[in-house]
Amino acid sequence: MGIRPNLVYDDGSIPGVDVVHLHHGVWLNLGAPDATAALPQRFFASGEEKTAMLLPAPYGYPYSTTDHWVLNYMLHNLTPEATQVWVTYDIDIIPADAPEAVGMLRARPIWMDVQNGKGYPVFDAVRGMGDGVTYTYPDQATAPYGNGPQLNEWVADADGTLIATAGHLHPGGLHTDLYVERDGQKAHAFRSEAMYYEPAGAVSWDVSMTATMPDWQVSVRQGDTLSTTATYDSGLASWYESMGIMVVWMGETGGDADDPFTTAVDTPGMLTHGHLAENDNHGGDLDNRYLDLTALPSAPASATIPIQDWVYTEGDMNYAVSVPTVKAGESITYENLDANIGKGQWHTITACAAPCNRSTGIAYPLADGPVIFDSGELGLGGPPTADRTSWAIPTDLPPGTYTYFCRIHPIMRGAFRVEE
């Protein structure tokens, strides 16, 4: 069985990732319980990295016409223009009465996730976390789960054979890792690596994740603990609302399998695709539409700066003649009035390195400001929003001109200034 996801316009063409993309999608089977959370069975996941899934012979995922599949998705339109797109997925099916089905073994999905069970399973990988170069969640987080259960772990409920997995990460992600623990011993089972085609490095969706090879078969016993981690670059920029997911396929016993405590099973994986043409607009070129606000004069800032019609009404990088300015120790409040449009237009104020005025693309701008701040998604309605429409700049900012962008709509840029 295999699944290959995509996102297309009505005419079948594929939109650029800098225009609209599948931020993430989860395929669920309402006819079966999930192995690792109190949810319907989650059997496939993808984002704009478009990782394909293929189960090796002789394994397959049983499907009945009485099953009901549901797609939980988040589409990300980076422009103010409404557009219609379609999430597609090609499926390989072998009928139960086909000769090829003889001898097939059943497999089931084991959803592994560093924030498993949450409706929006994310965490922040802020620049400087971890060792300042990389940040591994949850290992390097402070009390990531509080006093609750370890959300990144699952205790095997039966003997079986792990037959396939691949990771899901957001830009900035480097790899996910799968471990098996038994009787106090912990074995590394697989690393799904993010292979970036992006010239700027690990900063965009121009990436392919490695998946296990067809001969990767790992024996697990009832009572073994599976766990996963996600590692992000923490030296270049901050990565907000990051994910770390591995859907692990577990087959019934009956085929060959290696014991991870006697055999090295963490062999390199394979890429499920190469560079995709929809990732060609990397950004970062000269763009005369944006002003260099570091060169504009100061002007007293209003106590509240509205965000309206996709414009920061003071200090917007497209229109400003001056930079809204406060004295050190004072603050400015931003209010997102677009949050009241339709189901809500959500915006952020996220620090980027000045002058932050080059062309928008999948790799630019970045949350790489020398001083780190982020408003969260200003909007109402629960995750992924911050459940508020306003945000005030920190009062402890040192003097300087601070440029920022909207993580949701990176064509939006602005600046404010702090003076002695």
Domains in the chain with CATH codes: 2-279 (2.60.120.230), 293-419 (2.60.40.420)
Cα–Cα separations (whole angstroms), residue 301 to 325, 333, 368, 370: 5, 10, 24, 22
Interior angle at CA 228, CA 227 and CA 231, nearest 5: 150
Side-chain-side CA neighbours of 345 within 13 Å: the count stands at 21
- pLDDT, position 342: 76
Determine contact, residues 20/78, Cβ cutoff 8 Å.
Answer: yes
- pLDDT, position 253: 82
Q: What are residue 5's DSSP bridge partners?
A: 89
Helices vs strands, H then E, count in the chain? 0, 30
Q: What are residue 164's DSSP bridge partners?
A: 249
**pTM recorded for the entire structure:** 0.96
Q: Which two tokens stand for residue 128?
A: 């400087």
What is the separation, in whole angstroms, between the first and last Cα of the chain? 64
Mean pLDDT by 10 residues, the chain (420 residues): 91 96 94 96 93 92 94 93 94 93 94 95 97 98 96 97 96 98 97 98 97 96 98 98 97 87 97 96 96 98 97 97 98 96 89 98 98 97 93 97 97 97
The rounded distance, in Å, linking the Cα atoms of 347 and 337 is: 10
The rounded distance, in Å, linking the Cα atoms of 302 and 334 is: 10
